Amino acid sequence: MTRIRLGWEAQIDKVTYATAFLIVGLALVILGSVLGWAVWLAVPVIVVGVVSLLVFALRMRGWRSLWWRRELVIGADGIAYEAKNSGFTVAWSDLAVLGVHSDNGVIERFGLTLVFFPRSVDFTQRLSSFRILRLPRNGAFKVRIPRRAGIVEAINGAAPAGWQRVPSPAWNALVVEPGVDPHAVPVPDPRPPVVVNVGRKSRRQALIGGVLMVAAAAAFLAAIFGNHNGGVTVRVIASVLGAPFIIGAVAMVLSGPMVARSRYVVIDADSFTWDDPSGQPFTFAWNEIASVAVQTRVSRSAPGTWASQRRIDSILVSARQEHRKLPVGDQRAEVDQIGRAVQQFAPRAWAGATTGIAGPLQLS
């Protein structure tokens, strides 16, 4: 049996909540310790901070429910993808053919595809992972996983005795049970997938804004609690003016894990995938998708105001049974790339891009 580590998976929203208790607790304890000019307030502030730290400590006792390893287990019985919410197991006895295809020009996170050709039509009833995609053009099932060294060798070594190990320019590995003609196995689409990182720009923007907000908040905190000759008047003025910056800095820090998470759109010949560790990823086959569109809302600042124009891009995916709206922020280049990819792989599904005008407070 071979275990290959594919990476880590996390519940980002719950990690964010745990981080919030840690940061708030530390901030309150530190704040209470420096409130020398207001002793009556220091004790309750420290008590609340300690309670927040205890909540964080209790939550971290179950840290394995917040993040966990993803592993591919290859053995004599079959192949298992071990993950908390999206794992699956495929037995060799259920398969007629297994193909492995690597897209070398794609980032490692989405660089390898396993294609299962089952023996029976009830194969899909034993699979519940959203990662498994049925290919209507040939009845196979595929899953895209991170590209890791050793997977091809492990599959060739673990396949049942008597199965054919077929060299093929279209596959990195192809194992076929006896009696199946390898030449009859459909080859994968040679076009590499288009992978669009829609989290990089928002992460950079949040980092810049967060640094500026924290710096301003630190300056006001120094004016409020520092040792200077300004007296109570300066402290009160600094408190009033600095409150928005302090609250904004705290909000920036607390939302850090959610903002910094990686989000990807993966488009290939078979499917549209939204990869988001916040807990709502999905994969739709093209035959399930009615349309894909890009919607842009732009705020027009009112005359005489200082507010600048803002742009929010969203990807609209309409499937047979549900509709998904994926807000991605100001991502003009990224949504243009997504539009070109949809037109490349599924031109019938492309519904175009639209732009609408919204009021300064009506963006969504």
Question: Which pLDDT value is given to residue 279?
Answer: 63
Residues 94 and 126 in one domain: yes
Which of 260, 285, 304 terminates a domain? The answer is 260
What pLDDT was estimated at residue 344? 95
**pLDDT over 80 at 294, yes or no:** yes
Tokens of 56: 């964080």
Q: Does the residue 180 lie in any domain? A: yes
Q: Are 308 and 218 within one domain?
A: no
- Based on the domain organization, do 167 and 91 belong to the same domain? yes
Determine, yes or no, domain membership for 33: yes
Domain boundary among 209, 227, 260: 260
Confidence of residue 360 (pLDDT cuts 50, 70, 90): low
pLDDT at 306: 47
Task: Answer yes or no: do 12 and 101 share one domain.
Answer: no
Q: Is residue 295 part of a domain?
A: yes
Strand partners, 116: 98, 141
Average pLDDT over residues 277-302: 83
Question: Which of 287 and 232 is assigned the larger pLDDT?
Answer: 287
Element (H, E) at 80: strand 78-82
Residue at 174 is within a domain:
yes
CB atoms within 10 A of CB 164: 15
Question: 264 and 198 in contact (C-beta within 8 Å)?
Answer: yes
pLDDT higher than threshold 60 for residue 364: no
Percentage of the chain lying above the pLDDT 70 cut: 82
Residue 1 belongs to some domain of the structure = no
Query: In this structure, are 316 and 350 located in the same domain?
Result: yes
Least confident window among 146-150, 211-215, 352-356 = 211-215
Q: In percent, how much of the chain has pLDDT > 90?
A: 29
- Of the pLDDT bands very low, low, confident and very high (cuts 50, 70, 90), residue 264 is very high
Residue 339, pLDDT > 90, answer: yes
Report d(CA 15, CA 67) in Å as an integer: 8
Q: What average pLDDT does range 86-111 have in this prediction? A: 89
Residue 112 near residue 101 (C-beta atoms within 8 A): yes
Q: Does the pTM of the predicted model rise above 0.95?
A: no
Longest dimension (CA), the chain: 91
3-state class (DSSP) for residue 96: strand
In contact, 229 and 218? CB cutoff 8 Å: no
**Nearest one of 228, 213, 238, 95 to 164, comparing CA atoms:** 95
For residues 279 and 132, which has the higher predicted lDDT (pLDDT)? Answer: 132
pLDDT the model gives residue 355: 85
Instruction: Give me the helix-helix angle, 12-33 and 231-254, nearest 10°.
Output: 160
In this structure, the answer to whether residues 84 and 146 fall within a common structural domain is yes
Provide the pLDDT for residue 25: 82
Predicted confidence at residue 19, as pLDDT, reads: 77
Q: Is residue 20 part of a domain?
A: yes
pLDDT of residue 54: 87
At residue 112, φ and ψ (nearest 5 deg) are: -130, 140
Specify whether 155 is located in the same domain as 232: no
Residue 363 lies in a domain: no
Same domain (yes/no): 287, 342: yes
| 170-225 pLDDT tens trace | 899 999 999 889 888 988 888 999 999 987 777 777 777 777 877 887 887 777 77
Which residue range(s) make up the domain with 58? 8-65
- The first and second tokens of residue 353, run together, are 């891009």
Of the candidates 231, 190, 11, the one whose C-alpha atom is nearest the C-alpha of residue 103 is: 190
CA distance 232 to 242: 15
345-350 own/partner pairs: CB under 8 Å, 24+ apart = 345/191, 345/194, 345/267, 345/268, 345/269, 345/286, 346/272, 346/286, 346/289, 346/292, 349/286, 349/289, 349/290, 349/291, 349/292, 350/291, 350/292, 350/293
Q: List the CATH number of the domain containing 339.
A: 3.30.720
Listed residues 16, 31, 65: the one ending a domain = 65
Give the model's confidence band at 322: pLDDT under 50 very low, under 70 low, under 90 confident, else very high. confident
pLDDT score for 237: 77
Distance CA 357, CA 330 (A): 14
- Residue 109, SS3 per DSSP: helix
79 and 176 both lie in a single domain = yes
Give the pLDDT mean for 32-57: 76
**Can you tell me the mean pLDDT for 214-237?**
74
Pair (226, 320) in one structural domain: no
2 located within any domain: no
Token pair for residue 360? 């300064």
Please count the structural domains in the chain.
Answer: 4
Please check the confidence at residue 272 and state whether its pLDDT lies above 90: yes
The answer on 346 and 256 residing in a single domain is no
Looking at the structure, do residues 285 and 228 belong to the same domain, yes or no?
A: no
